[in-house]
Structure 1
Amino acid sequence: MLARSMTLRFFSAAAAGKKVAVLGAAGGIGQPMSLLLKDNDKISHLSLFDVVNTPGVAADLSHCNTRAKVTGHAGMDNIEAALTGMDVVVIPAGVPRKPGMTRDDLFNTNASIVQSLATAAAKYCPNAMLLIIANPVNSTVPIVAETFKKFGVYDPKRLFGVTTLDVVRANTFVAESQGWNPRTTNVTVIGGHAGTTILPLLSHLKLDKKWSDDELHALIKRIQFGGDEVVKAKDGAGSATLSMAYAGARFTSRLLDALAGEKNVVECSYTQNNVTSLDFFSTPVTLGPNGVEEVHSFGKLNAVEQANFDAMLPGRWNVLQLSLQLLIVLFIDLEKQIAKGVEFVHKK
């Protein structure tokens, strides 16, 4: 009787779980992220897709004694099977950034990959939550949005650019500097997901140790260009795959918590919103059963910050304490990167 009761509870919970697809599951980010997701009991089916090698990854993960059923699908001929019925689709697919590679170089390669995967998702799981990791996120998220619009199935509440790695880095680096526990450190990071478009709101923190101006600028730069630090340390043999896998799994898990009914799930994400005049912007959002439940602003500015802010970009920003030059660079760069993604879809 006890065994039967335990079995019923197990399968009832599994039946209530979500179906999650990882597109690019055999890659440097996809494999470790899939391993982390396999350990999430809110997932009943983990569908792994890549152009090659996915069945082997799926077979390996399927031996882990956790709840999720794992299936592997290789090649575009099998993408319908990989996506049909999925609740959440995570896209880490694409080539990683290498030393000397610009964001333009990365865009030229990854844009077509992301568009083809977005087209398949629009056909086979149009109501799924789409989590975009493939870089450059500032441009690939608009590509997915425009592709879904073409199919008439776009819902901005269900599309997320995963910027969690910026938050993870900010939490880690700030905690190191302050002697805090990184697990309980929570830095809000807004803007985009590339270089100077990444803006950690360090002025919102209650510090134990005040930073000098030089220390503050160095910390901001390290958060913004943490990816370069990893690429250099790996001596050209890779990029930030493990930390990105961790961050991607963390955001996916928090979304699954919200889909399961947990309240007050707030994460930073690059979404379409009206917080600024830009079409897409990363800011804290409350997640719920239908995706984005609420978009949050960035908090109050002091009188000096507000005055300087209003003087430089009246009516266009509601942000933080940073220099005029940095704000203008962020706005122009991010606007161009969004436009690039939109134009790519409409040129084809």
Structure 2
Amino acid sequence: MRRAKITVIGAGNVGATCAHWCAAAELGDIVLLDIPQTEDMPRGKALDLMQASPIMGFDSNIVGTTSYADTADSDVIVVTAGIPRKPGMSRDDLLNTNAKIITSVGEQIKATSPNAVVIVVSNPLDAMVQQMWKVTGFDKAKVCGQAGVLDTARYRTFLAMELGVSVEDISALLMGGHGDTMVPIPSCTSVGGIPVTQLIDRARLDEIVERTRKGGAEIVSLLKTGSAYYAPAAACAQMVEAVVRDKKRVIPVAALCESEYGVGGYYVGVPVVMGSGGVEKIIELDLTDSEKADFQNSVDAVKGLVATMDQLLSS
């Protein structure tokens, strides 16, 4: 039985760290790709990571390249390509440049790995994954976006810090777009099975949610010259594992919702079952009226972002 072939497009901090997590977990053989202008950089990172394998005890063949030919017939492709956020920038500021990059990447994926499950990480996430699906023409189950796993991880981290408990005992869910309009679902948040609303008052919970919404910007402001990469890369690796090991994980991802939640054909963060087929099922929750209103507000923001992107790309 052959190992899974995992391609990571973009060998920057998120991409290289994703390759690191995937290799360490022995999820498969890895191709780390970047643009030709980077010359030998991806080869250097791949070789460095390979040389860690005897020390850390993992078996993965890791190749660095600038040629899409080396990515052919990948089982899973993680797309981190694009310019990162800088202090003072929102995810939306990246829209025009990254939409063009995603279009180019999507065309290459379609030509070289037509059966791959594609996980998009590039920002602004919800618009970028919509564009990837449009360009590749892949089945909607095979194209999804990583955001919900990261957002939920940040939320769980802050809740654990607040309560002084293990992150392992925090179960939580966030839905909607990746950004300031993301929607917490208190009814799906618990600590060791105890509803979080019994442990944290609503005002304090709202403050934690707000910090979660701005979690990426907080790290950008601290780093000064870059954006988060350890947690985003770990979130990608969890999604890759769900696919290559057919884990059937119930996790929040950006998935194409048509009749679900009344979205009508847009990518937005929702809970799904993720396995070897990609997004195998979207789970529809019975949201409260307040949650429905917040979710619709988030969907409307995504729709506006996609409309702006389409206008920019057609001009």
Aligned to 2:16: 31
Give the Cα separation in 1 of the matches to 2:198 and 2:309.
41
The answer to whether the aligner puts 1:126 opposite 2:151 as a matched pair is no
Aligned to 2:304: 336
The answer to whether the aligner puts 1:114 opposite 2:89 as a matched pair is no
- Structure 1 contact 55–72 (Cα < 8 Å) conserved: yes
- Structure 2 contact 92–305 (Cα < 8 Å) conserved: no
Matches for 1:233-312 after TM superposition, within 5 Å? 233-234=222-223, 236-258=224-246, 262=247, 264-273=248-257, 274-278=259-263, 279-298=266-285, 300-301=286-287, 305=288, 309=289
Secondary structure at the counterpart of residue 183 of structure 1: helix
Give the Cα separation in 1 of the matches to 2:226 and 2:282.
35
- Structure 2 contact 127–267 (Cα < 8 Å) conserved: no
- Structure 2 contact 96–309 (Cα < 8 Å) conserved: no
- Structure 1 contact 24–92 (Cα < 8 Å) conserved: yes
Give the Cα separation in 2 of the matches to 1:284 and 1:329.
18
Instruction: Indicate the RMSD between aligned Cα atoms, in angstroms.
Output: 2.0
The answer to whether the aligner puts 1:187 opposite 2:172 as a matched pair is yes
Q: Which structure 1 segments of 5+ residues have no match?
A: 1-14, 310-320
- Structure 2 contact 82–98 (Cα < 8 Å) conserved: yes
Give the Cα separation in 2 of the matches to 1:176 and 1:323.
28
Deviation at 1:124, TM superposition (A): 0.6
Structure number with greater CO (CA < 8 Å, separation at least 6) is 2
Aligned to 2:146: 162
- Structure 1 contact 21–82 (Cα < 8 Å) conserved: no
- Structure 2 contact 176–269 (Cα < 8 Å) conserved: yes
Summarize the Cα distance change of 1:239–1:339 in structure 2 as closer, same or farther, 3 Å threshold: same
Aligned to 1:207: 196
Secondary structure at the counterpart of residue 276 of structure 1: helix
Q: Which structure 2 segments of 5+ residues have no match?
A: 190-194
1:71 to 55, 63, 69: 63
- Structure 1 contact 139–339 (Cα < 8 Å) conserved: no
Aligned to 2:32: 48
The answer to whether the aligner puts 1:227 opposite 2:216 as a matched pair is yes
Give the Cα separation in 1 of the matches to 2:168 and 2:101.
34
Secondary structure at the counterpart of residue 72 of structure 1: strand
The answer to whether the aligner puts 1:148 opposite 2:133 as a matched pair is no
TM-score by length of 1: 0.80
Give the Cα separation in 1 of the matches to 2:281 and 2:262.
17
Give the Cα separation in 1 of the matches to 2:171 and 2:235.
14
Aligned to 2:192: none
Deviation at 1:246, TM superposition (A): 1.7
Secondary structure at the counterpart of residue 118 of structure 2: strand
The answer to whether the aligner puts 1:98 opposite 2:89 as a matched pair is no
- Structure 1 contact 21–46 (Cα < 8 Å) conserved: yes
Summarize the Cα distance change of 1:216–1:200 in structure 2 as closer, same or farther, 3 Å threshold: same
Give the Cα separation in 1 of the matches to 2:210 and 2:280.
32
Deviation at 1:252, TM superposition (A): 1.6
- The residue type paired with residue 289 of structure 1 is S
- The residue type paired with residue 331 of structure 1 is V
- The residue type paired with residue 70 of structure 1 is I
TM-score by length of 2: 0.88
Aligned to 1:177: 162
Deviation at 1:322, TM superposition (A): 4.1
Aligned to 1:18: 4
Secondary structure at the counterpart of residue 262 of structure 2: coil
Summarize the Cα distance change of 1:340–1:183 in structure 2 as closer, same or farther, 3 Å threshold: farther
Give the Cα separation in 2 of the matches to 1:248 and 1:107.
21
104-113 or 333-342, which deviates more: 333-342
